[in-house]
Amino acid sequence: MGFLELLEKGAKSRRHSGQSGDGGLGETSSVINISSSAALFKLSMNTLAYPTSKAGINYLSKSMTIEFAVNKIPLRVNCIKPGIFPSKITGTRDELEKIAKEALPGGFRPAPAQRPGRDEELGMAAVFLASSAGGFTNGIVMRVDGRLALVNP
């Protein structure tokens, strides 16, 4: 992995300088992968590649966490799995308001939050994972989905 050397160097330099702020763990550098709730949906979504690639990101994140821990590489790896958020792929906020509130053909249930996610909600999840507040958090797939995955197992 091309970025591994850079992240490891940053983590080690902070640990040796006493600036890590993590109690000496040295796990200051962080990788945050972005997946999607689509990785677990049982609906076809008219595409095979998108949910497959997102499921791969979930597994990659877990594998990286284990690999780094076993090899004592001081990097944290976490993954954020957004639900319905406006984007070029999913549509505008107005389009997603309907999807968030109504069931779709094939058994897709609406999000309990009854709305799409907001940019700041996704951003603050990333800030937490990247900051010292998330310094003890490693190897998770964080759902930021308005409980969408809970009603669409």
Domains (range + CATH), the chain? 4-151 (3.40.50.720)
Q: What whole-number distance in Å separates Cα of residue 142 and Cα of residue 148?
A: 13
Say whether 72 is catalytic.
no
Say whether 59 is catalytic.
no
Q: Which residue has the higher pLDDT, 78 or 111?
A: 78
Which residue among 35, 36, 37, 61 is the active-site one? 35
Q: Which residues lie across from 75 on neighbouring strands?
A: 29
Q: Which residue has the higher pLDDT, 88 or 44?
A: 88
Q: Which residue has the higher pLDDT, 12 or 119?
A: 119
Task: Pick the most confident of 61-75, 80-94, 108-122.
Answer: 61-75
DSSP 145: S
Burial class (CB in 10 A: 0-12, 13-18, 19+), 20: buried
Beta strands 141-144 and 29-34 are unpaired
Q: What whole-number distance in Å separates Cα of residue 135 and Cα of residue 23?
A: 10
Question: Given CA atoms 48, 54, 56, 59 in this order, what sign does their dihedral have?
Answer: negative
Q: How confident is the model at residue 106 (pLDDT cuts 50, 70, 90)?
A: low
**And the tokens for 109?**
């249930």
Contacts of 42 (CB under 8 A, 6+ apart): 107, 152, 153
Q: What whole-number distance in Å separates Cα of residue 20 and Cα of residue 16?
A: 8
Which residue among 29, 37, 54, 81 is the active-site one? 54
Contact between 82 and 37 (Cβ < 8 Å): yes
